[in-house]
Amino acid sequence: MKIERRDFLRKSLLIGSAALIAPRALFSQSPDAKIEILINEPIGTINPNLYSHFVEHLGGVVYDGIWVGERSKIPNIGGIRKELVDSLARIKPGVIRYPGGCFADQYDWRDGVGPRDKRPTRVNFWADTGYKAPDSYRQLNSGPQKYEPNAFGTDEFVRFCKLVGAQPYLAANVRTRDVRVFQEWLEYCNAPGGLTTLSSERAANGASNPHNVSYWGIGNESWGCGGDFLPEEYAVEFRKFTAWLPTFGVKLQLIGSGPNGGDTGWTRRFFTKLTEKGMGQLNKLYGWALHYYCGTTGKGIAAEFTENEWYDLIARSDRMESLIKDHWQVMGETDRDHKIKLIVDEWGAWHLQDPNVPAAYLYDYAGTLRDALISGVNLDTFQRHADKVAMANPAQLVNTIHSLFQAQEDRFTVTSNYHVFEMYMPHAGATAVRTEFIAPQVSFTRLDAARKEVPANFWGLNGSASIKGKTVTLTTVNPDARNVRETEINIGGARILSASARVLSSRDIHARNTFEDPHGLEPRDESMNVGTGGKLVYKFAPASVTRIQISIA
Ligand code: AHR
């Protein structure tokens, strides 16, 4: 069945507006929502790099999170935390971005290679930062989080990537180091052993085979901590950093430091300045990095929020959709064929550090079901824009911000976000297809800029779908904190044979995993009945992320 878009939207609007004014009881006999999966309307292949990660020398991310040291009692593989390796490998990470973040623009890769006992100690970018850091963190005056021992550097990072099956993505220092330092790092990583002095040095450090690093970021947040540049100034730096680079047979995928959230001026002015030197400059860019954190609510504590704050933050995370569309449109003003893709290499919610975690674990907290829904909203958005987004990395992998893991000494747990990544795995490499969601909106109250309560609403069901062979994968977020959303699911152009669901939900919207309760929030599998004629009706649980896999003929 091919649904005409105009016809479909007209019907959707009718259902949508009826739902807005009708009491729920009117729908008790039949589904009040509908999903149309249009498998004959492909959007693009979903890049497996949408499920990528980010590691920065910040708080407990590297030291303790990943690196425990070879002599640690904590099970490790050459110093790298084994439980993390095993859990991360299970969800097939695309790439891992490193060493920052803001840290990258003051890092010298040379500090982090060679015999560990000879590596220098340097002050970490995050040692003095007052940005959202608790007083207890500011008062610390020792430890690897403040004074970087460089025990974990390029070779350890690439080893970590190999252990988990990810590609490395390194960010060059544009603020405090020059082009030569960048080129030498590239040479150290990619030149075949014995070919140059630097590749021989790498071999002497234990890595005789080249690291073959393909993804390179040219700075990070160059509008801020990465140099406080104007977009025109950064475009000049970008041209200089990329004018000539040794490739050693590796296809280099260079990523420009893109905008902060909705700053389309940064995007437009960069592209305009870059191409003053000719349109050929565009060929140097593989991707344009967009960063967007939806922030926090209320007191900023991850696990303390009201129902209104639940909705407010999920709605704010949904801004990713318009950010992608807006920057894409502006990029297209110069890059008319859209060869350059968006790389959302920092995204997530960002709450305050949990006062109960040790001070050194900067911005660490256990995310809740609310964060899981935010993960679902973001991943679905990237999948719906599979033609535009080539990579996405939540900030960050472990022990900080929107993390997938918490690890402190011998304690380890996966967070709510991890489960969403696990559930979304079947989308990787599949073809995203247009999918329409019709459902009553959710309503709530939020605080406006003047801290006055104002009514607000947003969609009541959203998600994305993809197809691989004869399997359709549908992932859906139901933000309604209280109500089941009974939904008719149709696949235009195919017959439904069977279906099964995997659901992450809880009666408690604050549910989460902690060291004390590592299974506080886990997905459950559900079988589904397909009705006569391939009719599929499903009740999406309140406050849920759901994956439905459908076999079709
Ligand atoms: O992820 C934490 C920080 O947020 C990164 O270092 C920086 O790029 C961003 O502002």
- Mind listing the pLDDT tens digit for each residue in 374-413? 999 999 999 999 999 999 999 999 999 999 999 999 999 9
Q: Is the pLDDT of residue 4 over 90?
A: no
The answer to whether the beta carbons of residues 513 and 415 sit under 8 Å apart is: yes
**Average of pLDDT values for 126-144?**
90
Query: Residue 197's pLDDT is what?
Result: 97
Mutate to test the pocket of ligand 1, among 106, 132, 174, 221 (most ligand atoms within 8 A of CB): 221
Ligand 1 centroid from CA 102, angstroms: 6
* 101 CA from centroid of ligand 1 (Å): 5
Q: How far, in Å, is the centroid of ligand 1 from the Cα of 290?
A: 12
Which atom of ligand 1 lies nearest, measured to the CA of 126? Answer: 6
Given CA atoms 299, 302, 307, 313 in this order, what sign does their dihedral have?
A: positive
Decide if pLDDT at 273 tops 80: yes
Ligand 1 center from residue 201 Cα (angstroms): 31
pLDDT tens-place string over residues 171-228 = 999 999 999 999 999 999 999 988 999 999 999 999 999 999 999 999 999 999 999 9
- Distance between CA atoms of residues 479 and 485, nearest Å: 10
Q: What is the mean pLDDT of residues 510-528?
A: 97
| Residue of 53, 55, 56 to test ligand 1 pocket, by largest number of atoms within 8 Å of CB | 56
Q: Nearest 5°: phi and psi at 186? A: -60, -45
Q: Which atom of ligand 1 is nearest to the CA of 104?
A: 6
Per residue in 486-502, pLDDT (tens digit) is 999 999 889 999 999 99
Going by alpha carbons, the residue nearest to atom 5 of ligand 1 is 101
Helix axes 369-384, 307-317, angle to 10 degrees: 20
Query: How far is Cα 341 from Cα 367, in angstroms, rounded to an integer?
Result: 30
Question: Which mutation among 225, 257, 362 tests ligand 1's pocket best, with the greatest number of atoms within 8 A of CB?
Answer: 225
> What integer pLDDT is reported at residue 24 of this predicted model?
36
Residue nearest (by alpha carbon) to ligand 1 atom 3: 101
| Ligand 1: centre distance to CA 443 (Å) | 32
Average pLDDT over residues 407-433: 98
Among 28-37, 53-62, 454-463, the range scoring the smallest mean pLDDT is 28-37
| Each residue's pLDDT tens digit, 61-101 | 999 999 999 999 999 999 999 999 999 999 999 999 999 99
Q: Whose CA is nearest to atom 6 of ligand 1?
A: 101
| pLDDT of res. 1 | 32
Q: What secondary structure letter does DSSP report for 332?
A: H
In the chain, what percentage of residues exceed pLDDT 90?
92
Which residues' Cβ are closer than 6 Å to ligand 1? 56, 100-102, 220-221, 346, 395-396, 401
Judged against a pLDDT cut of 50, whether residue 3 lies above it is answered with: no
Q: Is the pLDDT of residue 369 over 80?
A: yes
CA-nearest of 201, 232, 343, 354 to 285 is 343
Cα 250 from chain centroid (whole Å): 25
CA distances from 120 to 103, 113, 150, 172, 505 (A): 16, 10, 7, 19, 47
Nearest CA to ligand 1 atom 7: 101
Cα(392) to centroid(ligand 1), Å? 14
